[in-house]
Structure 1
Amino acid sequence: MHTRAQVYSPLQNTAVWLAAWLYNVESTDETIDALTDLGGTHTFDGAPMVQLLHDVRTAADLESPEPAVRLVLWGPGQAPRLRADSPAMEALTQAGALVVRGGGANHILVPDYSADGVRWRWFEDYEPLPEPEWLTPGEADQLLSRATNEAAVLIEAAGGTRKELPNPRLAVGTLADFYDTPGLPAGVTPRAAKLFARADRVAATIETVTERLDDHTFDPHLFALWRHVRSARMAGVSDAVVDYRREYMRA
């Protein structure tokens, strides 16, 4: 099982850029450029990305107290918070989904990433979705930090990794930079940015050990971190989106 699919999704930054655009923090051109960096050419029912943006703006309830855009990630030990047996659930890939809150409906955007770009599918669900974890950034950060420390203690007690890179710290740093590309839009809360950075760092460390060092001795300890990395990303997105709404309502 490839590590990156479990600890990284371009949907994290896609969700934040989409929210920044919805709340008029970022322009359409800047948003499309960022989304292109996050996956190449985006299409929706054969139409270009601008059509998807138009439909999202039409559907989104920007005054809803719940986040207008929510990130859905899932993996081992963590079910996606979508309705079981729904068309959206059946279409879901490892990359996850975005939920756009609309008046009376949840609009679920499911991407399919390939070498040719990103193809989006749109589903509407009028039934209540399973409740998200609704972790605060502080709670998500604490859980991720605690799990990371526990894994480090277990790995150190077992004697550390069996193979070495010429410069492991450099490898981790390079991967952390990859996870952060192409960056975040303006106005992201410091809490969310910090949480994303920690999640990137932990994800890069996991990938360095399992993929670059090719050492799977500690997989059970590292795999337990996957859920907390995903939860941190979802919590950070929610915090950023709610803050965009707060500033929007003040204007």
Structure 2
Amino acid sequence: MHTRAEVYSPLQNTAVWLAAWLYHVESSDDTLDALADLGGTHSFNGASMAHLLYDVRSAADLESPGPAIRLILWGPGQAPRLRAGSPSMAALTQAGALVVRGVGANHVLVPEYLGPEVRWRWFEEQEPLPEPEWLSPGEADQVLSRATDQAAVLIEALGGTRKELPNPRLAVGTLADFYDTPGLPAGVTPRAAKLFARADRVAATIETVTDQLDDHSFDPQLFALWRHVRSARMAGVADAVVDYQREWAR
């Protein structure tokens, strides 16, 4: 199992860029460029990503309380917060989904990453979706930090990794830089940015141990972190989107 699929999704930054565009913080051109960096050529029903952006703006409820865009990530020990048996659940891939809040309905956008292109599918949900965790950035940061410390203690107690990299800090830093590419749009809250950075760092550390070192003796300790990394990303997106709404409403 490749670790990256469990701890990283380009949807984190995609969600924040879409919110920045919806609330007129970023231009259409800059948003489309960022989305291209996050997956290549995007298409929706055979049309370009610009067509999807237009439909998202038409459907989105930007004024009701709460995030107009939510990130859905899932994996071992963490079910996706979509309706069981729904078409959107059936279409879901490991990459996750975005939920755009509409008036009287939720719109679930499910991407499929196919090498240099991304194909989007759109599902309308009239029934309420399962409630998300609704962790605050501070709560998500504390949970992730505590789980990371616990995993480190366990690994140290078991004698450390069996293999070594010539420069493990450089390996972790290089991977953390990958997770952060292509960066975030303007106006992202410092809380969300800090949470994304911590999630990137933890994800890079997990990948360094399991994939770069090819040491799977600590999989139970490290895999337990996956859920907290995903939860941190979802909480950070929610905080960034709500803050965009707050600034837009002023």
TM over 0.5: yes
For 2:65, what is the secondary structure of its paired residue? coil
Displacement of 1:122: 0.2
Residue 233 of structure 1 corresponds to: 233
Displacement of 1:66: 1.8
Determine the C-alpha separation between the residues in 1 that align with 2:234 and 2:176. Answer: 18
Determine the C-alpha separation between the residues in 2 that align with 1:85 and 1:72. Answer: 16
The question of 1:12 aligning with 2:48 is answered: no
Residue 201 of structure 1 corresponds to: 201
- What are the Cα deviations for residues 171-221 of structure 1, in whole angstroms up to 9, with x where unaligned? 000000000000000000000000000000000000000000000000000
The count of aligned residue pairs is 250
State the one-letter code of the partner of 2:71: L
- What are the Cα deviations for residues 67-92 of structure 1, in whole angstroms up to 9, with x where unaligned? 10000000000000000000000000
Residue 57 of structure 1 corresponds to: 57
- After superposition, where does 1:1-251 map in structure 2 within 5 Å? 1-250=1-250
State the one-letter code of the partner of 1:68: A
Determine the C-alpha separation between the residues in 2 that align with 1:111 and 1:5. Answer: 14
Displacement of 1:32: 0.1
Structure 2 unmatched runs, 5+: none
Determine the C-alpha separation between the residues in 2 that align with 1:197 and 1:72. Answer: 19
State the one-letter code of the partner of 2:154: L
Determine the C-alpha separation between the residues in 1 that align with 2:111 and 2:88. Answer: 11
Displacement of 1:116: 3.3
Give the CA RMSD over aligned residues: 0.4
For 2:66, what is the secondary structure of its paired residue? coil
State the one-letter code of the partner of 1:47: A
State the one-letter code of the partner of 2:23: Y
For 1:164, what is the secondary structure of its paired residue? coil
Determine the C-alpha separation between the residues in 2 that align with 1:191 and 1:67. Answer: 16
For 1:113, what is the secondary structure of its paired residue? strand
Determine the C-alpha separation between the residues in 2 that align with 1:178 and 1:115. Answer: 17
Determine the C-alpha separation between the residues in 1 that align with 2:82 and 2:220. Answer: 27
- What are the Cα deviations for residues 113-134 of structure 1, in whole angstroms up to 9, with x where unaligned? 0113000000000000000000
Determine the C-alpha separation between the residues in 2 that align with 1:48 and 1:93. Answer: 21
Q: Percent identity?
A: 84
TM-score in terms of structure 1 length: 0.99
